[in-house]
Amino acid sequence: MRPQDLIRIKRDGGALNAEQIRAFVRGVTSGEIPDYQTSALLMAIFLRGMNRDETVALTRSMIESGSRADLSSIPGLKVDKHSTGGVGDKTSIPLAALVAACGVSVPMISGRGLGHTGGTLDKLESIKGFRTNLPIPEFVDTVRKVGACLIGQTADLAPADKKLYALRDVTATVECPPLIASSILSKKAAEGIDALVMDVKTGSGSFLKGLERCRELARTIVEVGTGLGLRVVAFLTDMDQPLGRAVGNALEIEESIECLKGKGPSDLETLVVEMAAEMLVLAGTAKLIDPARERIRFAIRDGTGLKKLREIVVAQGGNGKVVEEPSRLPQAERSTPFPSPSSGFVTAMDAEAVGLAAMALGAGRRTVEDRIDPAAGILLRKKLGDRVEKGEPLLELRHAEATPLEEARAFLSRAYRFGSAPPPGRPVVLGRILG
C-alpha cells in the first residue's frame, strides 16, 4: 500500500493494521517516505486518534526501528520511572538512589530540559565530571554493579521516535495521547526494562493541559505498556506549582540531596516515596504498598539512599564529595530577591511562567543547541497557601552578574495570584492508574 492510502484510511476515521503501521515506520526510518506524507499521517492520527491495538503496533514498530539494550544478565525485574516533565521535578534523582538502595535495578534513560521544563541529564551534569553519555555496554555494567544508571537517549534506541518527534514538533502534533504514549514507551521498552512507573503531570506547568487529557494519556500509557508485556502503573500528579522549592540544575541536585537526608520539601518527599514504593511492588520485592513505603522511608532515615546516590555519582565519573558537601556544586554569582507585589495568601501559581523565568536566567534552553548555566535558577520562598506581605521576597533569583533580569521578572510578575484566604489544599498525587 502507498503512503497516501494509509493517510486516506486514517483521514476517514479507519484503523490501520499492524502490517500497515510497520511499513509506515520502516519507510519513515529509512527515509523512503517523505516528510510531507509522514506529517499528513501524523495530523490524521492527531485528529482521528488511534485505538489500543494500533498504538501497540506503532510502539512495537518504533522499538523494532533500532536496537534494544539487553539487561537479561542482571537478576530480578528492572524498573524505570518516567515523567512527562515539569518545573522543579527532580524526583528521578532521589528515587533512583532509594529504589536501588532497596535492591531493585533502575536503568534510566532520561532527557534534557527544553522550554519551561527541566531535564534530569542537565541536573546531573551540574555535578563536575558526571557522564550521561555512557555507551550501552557500560550502562548495563553500571546497573549491574551499582543498581542504577542514568544516561541520555542513544542514536540506536528507537530511532523512529527521533524522526517522528522532530516532525511532530514542527507540525503541531505533539499533544496527542497515542503519539505521546508510543514515543515514550518505545524508548522505555528499548532500554530493556520489565516495568515502568509513569508520572503524568497535570496543571499550569505540564506540557499537556487539562486534567481529562492527562488522564487519557495516563490510561493510554498503562494500556499500551501492558499490551507490550510491561508492568505499568501511571500516576497523575500536580504541576499547578513547581515541585519542591528549587528550580534550576545545581539547585535541584542540592534539593535532591536534602530529600535523601529526610530534610526535603514535603511535596517532593511524598512523590518520591509514593513512586519509589510502587517500583518495589512492580519489581516484586514488596507485595503491598504500605510496607514498600516503609522500606523507602527507612532508606531515607538510615542514609542508604544518600550513600547510593554517592555510588551512582562516582560510577558515572562525577565528584562524589558533592553529596556530603553540596556547596561544591556550581554557585551563582548573584542572588536577587523578587519582592511580592501584594499582601495576602498565594491562591494560584503559573508553574510554566516560573519555568520560563528560570530559562531566561540561563537554567534552561530555548532551542536544543542552547548552553545552560548550571548554577542559575530560582528558589521559591512562597508557594500555594503561604501568607506573604507586600515587599517580602516571593522568590530568589540565582544568576550570573551579566545576566539581564527583565525577561525573568516579566514572567514572574504574572506567576502568582493573591487572595484574602488560602486556597483549598491540593494533594501532590491526584490519581493512580493500575495495569
Q: Which residues bind ligand URA (CB under 6 A)?
A: 84, 165, 174, 179-180, 183-184
Query: How many residues can be counted in the chain?
Result: 435
Query: Is 48 one of the annotated active-site residues of the chain?
Result: no
Minimum CB separation of residue 165 from ligand URA in Å reads 6
Query: Is 122 one of the annotated active-site residues of the chain?
Result: no
Q: Which is nearer to ligand URA, 104 or 179 (by Cβ)?
A: 179
The Cβ-side half-sphere exposure at 213, using a 13 Å CA radius, reads 15
Q: Strand 106-110 relative to strand 344-349: parallel, antiparallel, unpaired? A: unpaired
The CA distance from 123 to 126, in Å, is 5
Q: Which is nearer to ligand URA, 184 or 388 (by Cβ)?
A: 184
Cβ(228)–Cβ(158) under 8 Å? no
Q: Which is nearer to ligand URA, 184 or 397 (by Cβ)?
A: 184
Of 235, 255, 232, the closest CA to residue 94 belongs to 255
Query: Which of left, alpha, beta for 203 (phi over 0: left; psi -120 to 50: alpha)?
Result: left
- Residue recorded with cell 552578574: 401
- Residue recorded with cell 518516567: 82
Query: Is 82 one of the annotated active-site residues of the chain?
Result: yes
Minimum CB separation of residue 234 from ligand URA in Å reads 14
Q: Which is nearer to ligand URA, 199 or 252 (by Cβ)?
A: 199
Catalytic residue among 110, 183, 186, 256: 183
Catalytic residue among 81, 90, 187, 295: 187
Q: Which is nearer to ligand URA, 29 or 183 (by Cβ)?
A: 183
The Cβ-side half-sphere exposure at 216, using a 13 Å CA radius, reads 16
Minimum CB separation of residue 84 from ligand URA in Å reads 6
Q: Which is nearer to ligand URA, 165 or 298 (by Cβ)?
A: 165
Q: Which is nearer to ligand URA, 57 or 58 (by Cβ)?
A: 58
Minimum CB separation of residue 397 from ligand URA in Å reads 28
Of 387, 378, 383, 384, the closest CA to residue 354 belongs to 378
Query: Is 116 one of the annotated active-site residues of the chain?
Result: no
Query: Is 188 one of the annotated active-site residues of the chain?
Result: no
Minimum CB separation of residue 115 from ligand URA in Å reads 12
Give 132's strand partners: none
Return the C-alpha torsion angle 384, 386, 392, 397, nearest 10.
-40
Catalytic residue among 82, 215, 308, 398: 82
Query: Which of left, alpha, beta for 61 (phi over 0: left; psi -120 to 50: alpha)?
Result: alpha
Residues with catalytic function:
82, 161, 168, 183, 187
